[in-house]
């Protein structure tokens, strides 16, 4: 699966579980650890874990390999390593505090399907 298609699929899976503010940043020119950082906000620790569980389940079902995850127990910031894509599921306070969009601001944001743009906010 091409990376952009993979990112859009992952964003769709996150939207299915009401992730908020899903953003994909192309970091291929500024990082050697991944091609894309995919960020999503969860409203609570329980939702962060549910998003991570759903994403890993869908990866397993679709045979999309993932290398591991960190931060699941605390669930303030869950990182899921999919090799070329790093998925960050953060609670709102953590997302504001760590400002990953600012950290990776040199990378362009990738267009995601419309259903992920306002996912989780009732629109």
Domain assignment present for residue 119? The answer is no
What's the residue count for the chain?
A: 123
Domain count, the chain: 1
Give yes or no for residue 121 having a pLDDT over 70: no
On whether residue 118 sits in a domain, the answer given is no
Q: What is the pLDDT of residues 81-104, one digit of tens each?
A: 999 999 999 999 999 999 999 999
How far apart are alpha carbons 76 and 54 in whole angstroms?
A: 17
DSSP alpha helix (H) spans, the chain:
3-16, 45-61, 92-98, 100-103, 114-117
pTM score, whole prediction: 0.90
Domain that holds residue 92: 3-113
User: Does 121 map to a domain?
Assistant: no
Whether 41 maps to a domain, the answer reads: yes
Position 94 in a domain: yes
80 lies in a domain?
Answer: yes
Is residue 16 domain-resident? yes
What's residue 17's pLDDT? 96
pLDDT of the residue at 114: 72
| CATH code, domain carrying 75 | 3.30.460.10
Average pLDDT over residues 113-122: 58
Strand ranges (E), the chain: 20-26, 36-42, 68-70, 77-81, 85-91, 109-110
Most distant CA pair in the chain: distance in Å?
A: 37
In angstroms, rounded to a whole number, what is the distance separating the alpha carbons of residues 11 and 19? Answer: 9
pLDDT given for residue 122 in this prediction: 43
54-79 pLDDT tens trace: 999 999 999 999 899 999 999 999 99
Predicted confidence (pLDDT) at residue 119 exceeds the cutoff of 60 = no
Strands 85-91 and 36-42: parallel
- In angstroms, the Cα distances linking 77 to 17, 62, 63, 111 are 17, 24, 24, 23
CB atoms within 10 A of CB 17: 19
123 within a domain of the structure (yes/no): no
Beta-carbon contacts of 115 under 8 Å, excluding residues fewer than 6 positions away, are 12, 15
């Amino acid at each position: 699966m091409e990376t952009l298609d993979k990112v859009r699929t992952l964003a769709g899976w996150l939207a299915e579980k009401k992730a908020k503010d899903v953003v994909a940043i192309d970091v291929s020119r500024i990082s050697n650890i991944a091609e894309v950082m995919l960020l999503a906000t969860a409203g609570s620790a329980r939702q962060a874990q549910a998003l991570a569980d759903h994403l890993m389940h869908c990866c397993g079902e679709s045979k999309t390999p993932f290398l591991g995850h960190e931060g699941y127990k605390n669930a303030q910031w869950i990182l899921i390593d999919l090799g070329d894509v790093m998925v960050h599921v953060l609670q709102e306070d953590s997302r504001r505090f760590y400002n990953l969009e600012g950290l990776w601001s040199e990378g362009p944001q990738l267009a995601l399907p419309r259903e992920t743009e306002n996912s989780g906010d009732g629109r």
